[in-house]
């Protein structure tokens, strides 16, 4: 099992179920706001489930294979991280293997460059400030209820 002290790849599936979704299961194409999540584990990591799909950006070659598939993914919300990072498992479910670094994914309707997660969190999706800023989002954490809400 790959993990950081309190959170591992198995927890990605468990927390997805706790959020009422199955990881990488079909998600609606229409973004859902507000996005509700929970604080998870002994360090109360903020986790939220969001729909992720392939975005066809005008600057990308039209010849790239695309999909209109949208799937649910659990994200660790990390406001100290400037770039949203995606687990290889999620990227491979949506992007052809020949073009992951040239791809753009939409997270809850917000287009972001498909940057792979690295190092200790290479199994997780990490939601960074690029998403929060582009969505003009407000992040609220409630430690009494172990809950989080992202509003846009």
Asked if residue 101 is part of any domain, the answer here is yes
Return d(Cα 91, Cα 96) in angstroms, integer.
8
pLDDT digits (tens, 9 = 90+) for 69-98: 899 999 999 989 999 999 888 888 887 665
Backbone angles phi, psi at 43, to 5 degrees: -95, 5
- Asked if 112 and 130 touch (Cβ cutoff 8 Å), the reply is yes
**Domain membership of residue 138 as a residue range:** 3-57+67-151
Q: Is residue 137, in this structure, part of any structural domain at all? A: yes
**What digits encode the pLDDT tens for the residues 33-69?**
999 999 988 888 899 999 999 876 555 554 444 446 8
Contacts by 34-39 with C-beta closer than 8 Å and gap 24+? 34/149, 34/150, 34/151, 34/152, 35/108, 35/149, 35/150, 36/147, 36/148, 36/149, 37/77, 37/147, 37/148, 37/149, 37/150, 38/146, 38/147, 38/148, 39/141, 39/143, 39/146, 39/147, 39/148
Residue 62 belongs to a domain: no
Residue 97 placed within a domain = yes
Total count of domains within the chain: 1
Q: For residue 31, is it within any domain?
A: yes
Please tell me the pTM assigned to this model.
0.84
Radius of gyration of the chain (CA): 15
CATH number for the domain that contains residue 108: 2.40.70
29 located within any domain: yes
Residues 148, 152: Cα–Cα separation, whole Å:
13
Question: Has residue 143 been placed in a domain?
Answer: yes
């Amino acid at each position: 099992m790959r993990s950081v002290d309190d959170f591992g790849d198995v927890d990605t599936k468990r927390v997805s179920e706790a959020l009422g979704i199955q990881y990488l299961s079909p998600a609606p194409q229409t973004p859902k706001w507000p996005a509700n999540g929970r604080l998870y584990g002994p360090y109360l990591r903020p986790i939220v489930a969001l729909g992720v799909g392939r975005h066809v950006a005008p600057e990308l070659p039209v010849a790239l294979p695309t999909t209109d598939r949208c799937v649910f993914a659990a994200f660790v919300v990390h406001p100290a991280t400037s770039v949203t990072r995606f687990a290889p498992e999620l990227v491979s479910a949506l992007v052809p293997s020949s073009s992951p670094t040239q791809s753009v994914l939409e997270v809850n309707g917000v287009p972001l460059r498909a940057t792979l997660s690295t190092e200790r969190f290479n199994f997780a999706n990490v939601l960074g400030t690029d998403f929060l800023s582009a969505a003009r989002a407000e992040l609220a954490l409630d430690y009494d209820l172990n809950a989080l809400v992202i509003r846009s």
